[in-house]
Structure 1
Amino acid sequence: MTITLILPSAPGRTAPYTLKQPKAFPAAKPPFSRIAFGAVHVVADPLADHDPWLKPAIDWDRTVAFRRHLWSLGLGVAEAMDTAQRGMGLDWKDALELVRHSLDAAKDIPGAVIASGAGTDHLAPGPDVTIDQVIAAYEEQCEAIEKLGGRIILMASRALVVAAKSPDDYIRVYSRVLSGVKQPVILHWLGEMFDPALAGYWGKGGHMQAMDVCLDMIAANAAKVDGIKISLLDKDKEIVMRRRLPKGVRMYTGDDFNYAELIAGDAQGHSEALLGIFDAIAPAASAALGALTRGDEKTFHEILAPTVPLSRHIFKAPTRFYKTGVVFMAYLNGHQDHFLMVGGQQSTRSALHLAELFRLADAAGLLSDPDRAAVRMKAVMAVHGVTA
């Protein structure tokens, strides 16, 4: 049966769009030849009595169910990171509760992999914040997560950007925090395109100069560093850094524009995956990784190639609003019954943006039930005044 609906096509214009058939992504059997985490979103509770801009309300059952979805596909869960709106609608108190719920759920699933974000977001940046306070904030979150039995992803700190006077302050903070963790962590260097408050991270204005500082810190603490996820949306910088990492320290790609090429790698190495887009394209990601594990790189690229335009659209500038597209995909595919987000961030993208996302997701075969997706798309478009 053909399904056609009216979608925005240009400013002030609409046009009919006919859906294609979804793809049947083959089931994959982990372990994969690449480590693969999906950084996952949270599901808001739409019926909670709260002020959405001031206090998050989370549907814990649906939130945990989505993590089970990723585990069922052989993907790991990167918990309480920026995809979960950490520091952008989700505060530390609720982030720790999220970590607890997810760790409890993982205990029931053989082979479930999870790592959780620790940062300083309960410490408000300001001119009076000291380096010692930043260290204490990091240690408080690391200890809380490790007390629950969690593994750490050490997130970038807005407070550190304000408090640091030089690159030496970054090295001091990270060296101190790493000295106290129980097991090696995954570092996360989140670029300013994802969070403008992190501009100048590592105490340097340019990424290549900042990279030198970061690599010096990693070299001095390599025994406590499993790897580093960099989110700079620049494949060449990632490859340069990947080749300079100490032996045994992994590169986890956070490049939602060029992930297929970086995961496949080259003769000198490859990147593991820790990606927000894997939330939205989980079935395709799992099938592609299964093909790569079997040595079938051609199929790996054939599966992922159609997902790249979708990812680049979801993560287009202002990149920090990518979470809206990720949650929209979960809504279209039935993982939640509404298109609402903590902090009211469903409003950060336009009807035109959502319409193009819908078309790109359909082109990639990622709308698992076209009838359901069409009904839900029409409902969202009606809110925007598109009712024809």
Structure 2
Amino acid sequence: MTTPATVRIPGPSGARTVELLAPPALITARTPPLSRLVYAAGHVVADPLRAAASVSATIDWDATMAVRHRLWALGLGVAESMDTAQRGMGLDAATALELGRRTVREAASCGGQVVVGIATDQLPAGPATLTAIGDAYLEQLEQIESAGGCVVVMASRQLALSAASVDDYLAIYGRVIEAASRPVILHWLGAIFDPQLAGYWGSDDLDAAVDTVVTLVNAHAEAVVGIKVSLLDAGREGVLRRRLPEGVRVFAGDDFNYAELIAGDESGHCDALLGAFAVIPRYASAALLRLDAADTAGFHTILDPTVALSRLLFEAPTQFYKTGVAWLSFLMGDQSHFRMLAGLESGRTVLHLADLFAEAAGIGLFPDPELAVDRATGYFRGIGL
């Protein structure tokens, strides 16, 4: 197809012209990178005929699994049933576990890597006893491990409301880690992603929270693969990485600064568990291939241009980044529609969607630019623009 040179899309002061670049020629991998452990947090594709604000977990299973296979085919692992999959924003606990079990089976069929989030979201919203919170974690742990999966211990909204001290966090997490039959990944999701997690680890002071995390990991170092940190604070991730025991990884969850964190410095590097990589998997695969070849400059040449798109995707209110993930998936042809669980397609403004289109077009994100133009302009026309 001939790449359209320009297209008119909505802007804050009327229509604006956007130039589309052809997709770059990238050499990608089919096997996992050797120098980093990398997971992309995949989104879910809704059933467009049934998805609505009042109906949760209406998933198009075939399309959702196809998203995972595209990630595995590029050598990326999949982080399943995480916040990118609308966990707690349309994806209920029962369906999150079903999604995890299905993805574990799919991974086994193709040799793909996968980890699955567990939480306490089967409990009613609001405070709960520490015993109930621990039991809820263990129930989900058993379901995923019995399916053959490894887990990411996600932050608990119930624990954030109910913990009276740092010791409560240490006790709950210690109970879960000790019950796991395989090493686990921890997950520190900041309030910028989920306001209900404010004060997690027992303090609003992030330095104090880091101290708690370090204490926890030191007590269970052999059973913890690492911790994903989603604070959008590159300095904090670096500080934590330098304080953890040797062999325990920090998985960059900073969708603003992932290129520098993964590349690392003289003190080390981060691995990755990122929602952004579900949007730019070809760039991630190609960049990590360069890193495996000790070509840090080549890594940055490929990955750095994607950071501006990710920063726009994750701008405040950050919890609605999933809307942009589904929008770009639709424009790239990875799903046939722009509908989401719980009606979350309304979570961003039309101007934000247009900005995402423009930024993606400027780095050549769309494998079929004509399809992207047809779908974007058709959507904008459909709402009267």
TM-score calculated relative to the size of structure 1: 0.96
| Candidates 6, 9, 19, aligned match of 1:7 | 9
The alignment yields a C-alpha RMSD, in angstroms, of 1.2
In structure 1, what is the equivalent of residue 201 of structure 2? 202
1:337-376 aligned within 5 A: 337-376=336-375
Q: Report the CA distance between 1:181 and its aligned residue.
A: 0.2
Q: Report the CA distance between 1:250 and its aligned residue.
A: 0.6
1:192-231 aligned within 5 A: 192-231=191-230
Q: Report the CA distance between 1:5 and its aligned residue.
A: 2.3
In structure 1, what is the equivalent of residue 86 of structure 2? 85
Q: Report the CA distance between 1:316 and its aligned residue.
A: 0.2
Question: Does the 8 Å contact 2:309/2:359 carry over to 1?
Answer: yes
Question: Does the 8 Å contact 2:32/2:76 carry over to 1?
Answer: no
Q: Report the CA distance between 1:51 and its aligned residue.
A: 4.5
In structure 2, what is the equivalent of residue 43 of structure 1? 45
**For residues 314 and 88 of structure 2, what CA distance do their matches in structure 1 show?**
18
Question: Does the 8 Å contact 1:184/1:225 carry over to 2?
Answer: yes
Q: Report the CA distance between 1:18 and its aligned residue.
A: 3.0
Q: Report the CA distance between 1:385 and its aligned residue.
A: 2.1
Q: Report the CA distance between 1:135 and its aligned residue.
A: 0.4
In structure 2, what is the equivalent of residue 247 of structure 1? 246
In structure 1, what is the equivalent of residue 22 of structure 2? 21
In structure 2, what is the equivalent of residue 116 of structure 1? 116
Question: Does the 8 Å contact 2:44/2:64 carry over to 1?
Answer: yes
Q: How many residues align?
A: 382
Partner SS state of residue 227, structure 2: strand
Partner SS state of residue 152, structure 1: strand
Question: Does the 8 Å contact 1:53/1:89 carry over to 2?
Answer: no
Question: Does the 8 Å contact 2:130/2:163 carry over to 1?
Answer: yes
Question: Does the 8 Å contact 2:32/2:77 carry over to 1?
Answer: no
**For residues 55 and 357 of structure 1, what CA distance do their matches in structure 2 show?**
26
In structure 2, what is the equivalent of residue 297 of structure 1? 296
Amino acid at match of 1:5: V
Q: Report the CA distance between 1:22 and its aligned residue.
A: 1.6
**For residues 53 and 104 of structure 1, what CA distance do their matches in structure 2 show?**
30
Amino acid at match of 1:46: P
**For residues 326 and 30 of structure 2, what CA distance do their matches in structure 1 show?**
26
Q: Report the CA distance between 1:231 and its aligned residue.
A: 0.2
In structure 2, what is the equivalent of residue 236 of structure 1? 235
Instruction: Map Cα deviations across residues 52-102 of structure 1 (whole Å, 9 max, x no partner).
Output: 433220000000011000000000000000000001100011111111211
Amino acid at match of 1:195: D
Identity %: 49
Q: Report the CA distance between 1:215 and its aligned residue.
A: 0.9
Partner SS state of residue 107, structure 1: helix
Amino acid at match of 1:258: N
In structure 2, what is the equivalent of residue 145 of structure 1? 144
Structure 2 stretches lacking a partner, 5+ long? none
Partner SS state of residue 273, structure 2: strand
Question: Does the 8 Å contact 2:259/2:304 carry over to 1?
Answer: yes
**For residues 380 and 26 of structure 1, what CA distance do their matches in structure 2 show?**
32
**For residues 352 and 126 of structure 2, what CA distance do their matches in structure 1 show?**
35
**For residues 158 and 96 of structure 1, what CA distance do their matches in structure 2 show?**
17
Which is further off, 362-371 or 278-287? 362-371
1:167-186 aligned within 5 A: 167-186=166-185
Question: Does the 8 Å contact 2:187/2:227 carry over to 1?
Answer: yes
In structure 2, what is the equivalent of residue 74 of structure 1? 75
**For residues 240 and 182 of structure 1, what CA distance do their matches in structure 2 show?**
29
Amino acid at match of 1:65: A
1:242-281 aligned within 5 A: 242-281=241-280
In structure 2, what is the equivalent of residue 64 of structure 1? 65
Partner SS state of residue 305, structure 1: helix
Q: Report the CA distance between 1:256 and its aligned residue.
A: 0.2
Amino acid at match of 1:72: A
Amino acid at match of 1:43: V
Instruction: Map Cα deviations across residues 248-301 of structure 1 (whole Å, 9 max, x no partner).
Output: 111100000000000000111100010000000000000000011011111110
Partner SS state of residue 13, structure 1: coil
Amino acid at match of 2:169: Y
**For residues 176 and 163 of structure 1, what CA distance do their matches in structure 2 show?**
16
Structure 1 stretches lacking a partner, 5+ long? none
**For residues 312 and 259 of structure 2, what CA distance do their matches in structure 1 show?**
16
TM-score calculated relative to the size of structure 2: 0.97
Instruction: Map Cα deviations across residues 33-53 of structure 1 (whole Å, 9 max, x no partner).
Output: 1111000000000123x6543
**For residues 29 and 96 of structure 1, what CA distance do their matches in structure 2 show?**
27
